[in-house]
Structure 1
Amino acid sequence: MSTVNPAAGSDSAYAQYAFPSTGKSKNDGMGQADFLRLMTEQMKNQDPLNPLKGNEFLGQLAQFSTVQGIENMQQAMSAMASVMENDQSLRAASLVGRDALVEVDKVTLAEGAGANGEIVATRAGPVQLEVVGAGGQVVRRIGLEAAGSGPVQFAWDGKDGDGNALPAGTYSFRAASASGDASEALGVRMAARIDSVSIEPTGLVLNLAGLGSMPLSSVRRIG
């Protein structure tokens, strides 16, 4: 009869036993039935003069229970992640076709196409919006009035100051308060249609008309 030396550690004890193949790959982990069978063989073949102590037996059971608990938790987390991803996909689909307000000051437009958005005013008073072409020239100036601090809506029809439709290209927007002699640069937010939504490892990415791909975190409002 072969003997088992508990002092040699559970790993060396388990290595003395080989079981018939069950058809599983070598990478498969040991299941509960395999573990109990191994423990039974260990007890049957232990040295009667130096039997496995109760605390060692309980320690091996505890180790197996811990590993099995971690595996179960991983499976539960994977299932939860799958449910959250599916829910995120459904929410993303509902955004397509709506308008998003994004903190950018540049947009690519087709010929004669306009744009709209808002200026973030810091106080009441007149505000001036400038539309700048790709070459750096100001093609349109629009005067607005802020009732107080907060957003001021604007709309540009895609034409220059003489009413001529401007060619396709990339246009920048800059705004400033114009009260008194002081001038303060103001933030600009552009509105764009959500053409599609991508689910990336970092989260939702909105594909916006004229603006390209933007993370959901850059969106300030969805209309």
Structure 2
Amino acid sequence: MTTVSSTTSSSAATGSASSVSSATSAADQEDRFMKLLVAQMQNQDPLNPMDNSQMTSQIAQINTVGGIEKLNTTVTQLLSAFNNMQSQSALQLPGRDVLVEGSTLALQNGSAAGGVSLAADADTVKVDVLDPAGQVLRSISLGKSSAGVRSFTWDGKDSSGNAVADGNWQMRVTATANGKAVDATALTAAKVQSVTSKDGDTELDLGSLGSKAWSAIQSFL
């Protein structure tokens, strides 16, 4: 009887998910658990058999551990497939214009593109183009906009309609909804020069803006 009690206690402790080494695979855990469970049932006291709820609980625990490992494997496979697809898509980007966070408007041949990222819907969205002294050179009203990213273009003219010189100009974006400020982030346009991929991470060479991660891209132009 003492042997039976010791075996039962050992089996219950071993069957517990908390005592299983994380280095052991779910298959090994399940095999070990089933052997111990069978031994426990064969050697249990006929006058005091194992409670059905206890056995069900132990089976549920080992199934949970096995399910988590299978889920982790599936997620890893999906992540690998996603990274491969992302890398293949990135190879098509050289020569494309994208929007990333930044407050520079690169005016070239009398035209510049930029963008605004809104945290919420806005009644009014305004872009101020600033001169070197920080004064407003031109205000561009984008009107009512939904939350998210939207692009705009600047014709390279000041508020008097005079063309300004090509080059990099600073901008400031503001947005409001019902008279209250809405979080607005300025986005600058850049051309993708090249793409590199290493260990699943995709990096984009944006010329003067340097190297940016794929996740930095807010939109494509």
- TM-score for the superposition, normalised by structure 2: 0.54
- Distance in 2, matches of 1:55 and 1:119, equals 64
- Greater shift in the superposed pair: 69-78 or 212-221: 212-221
Map 1:63-82 → 2, pairs under 5 A: 63-82=61-80
- Distance in 1, matches of 2:14 and 2:99, equals 66
Aligned to 1:183: none
- Greater shift in the superposed pair: 211-220 or 27-36: 211-220
Structure 1 SS opposite 2:113: strand
Aligned to 1:181: none
Structure 2 SS opposite 1:3: helix
Q: Which has the larger radius of gyration?
A: 1
CA-CA distance at 1:67 after TM superposition? 1.6
Contact 1:106 1:211 in 2 (8 A): no
- Distance in 1, matches of 2:10 and 2:87, equals 50
- Distance in 2, matches of 1:83 and 1:99, equals 26
Higher helix share: 2
One-letter identity of the residue aligned with 1:3 = V
- Distance in 1, matches of 2:101 and 2:66, equals 48
Residues 1:58 and 1:105: Cα distance change in structure 2 (over 3 Å): closer
- Distance in 1, matches of 2:92 and 2:98, equals 13
Does residue 1:27 correspond to 2:18, yes or no?
A: no
Contact 1:118 1:189 in 2 (8 A): no
- Distance in 2, matches of 1:70 and 1:9, equals 24
Contact 1:119 1:151 in 2 (8 A): yes
CA-CA distance at 1:194 after TM superposition? 0.6
Q: Give unmatched runs, 5+ long, in structure 1.
A: 16-24, 156-160, 176-186
Does residue 1:118 correspond to 2:119, yes or no?
A: no
How well do the aligned residues superpose, as a CA RMSD in angstroms?
Answer: 5.1
- Distance in 2, matches of 1:151 and 1:77, equals 39
Cα distance per residue 1:68-105 (max 9 Å; x no partner): 12221121111111111111111122112322244534
Aligned to 1:50: 48
Residues 1:130 and 1:67: Cα distance change in structure 2 (over 3 Å): closer
CA-CA distance at 1:59 after TM superposition? 2.1
**What is the percent sequence identity of the aligned residues?**
26
Map 1:141-220 → 2, pairs under 5 A: 151-154=152-155, 171-173=168-170, 190-197=188-195, 206-214=204-212, 219=217
- Distance in 2, matches of 1:26 and 1:71, equals 10
- TM-score for the superposition, normalised by structure 1: 0.53
CA-CA distance at 1:208 after TM superposition? 0.6
Residues 1:56 and 1:7: Cα distance change in structure 2 (over 3 Å): same
Q: Which of 59, 71, 95 lines up with 2:57 in the alignment?
A: 59
Structure 2 SS opposite 1:72: helix
Contact 1:193 1:209 in 2 (8 A): yes
Q: Give unmatched runs, 5+ long, in structure 2.
A: 116-123, 144-150, 157-162, 173-184
- Distance in 1, matches of 2:77 and 2:30, equals 22
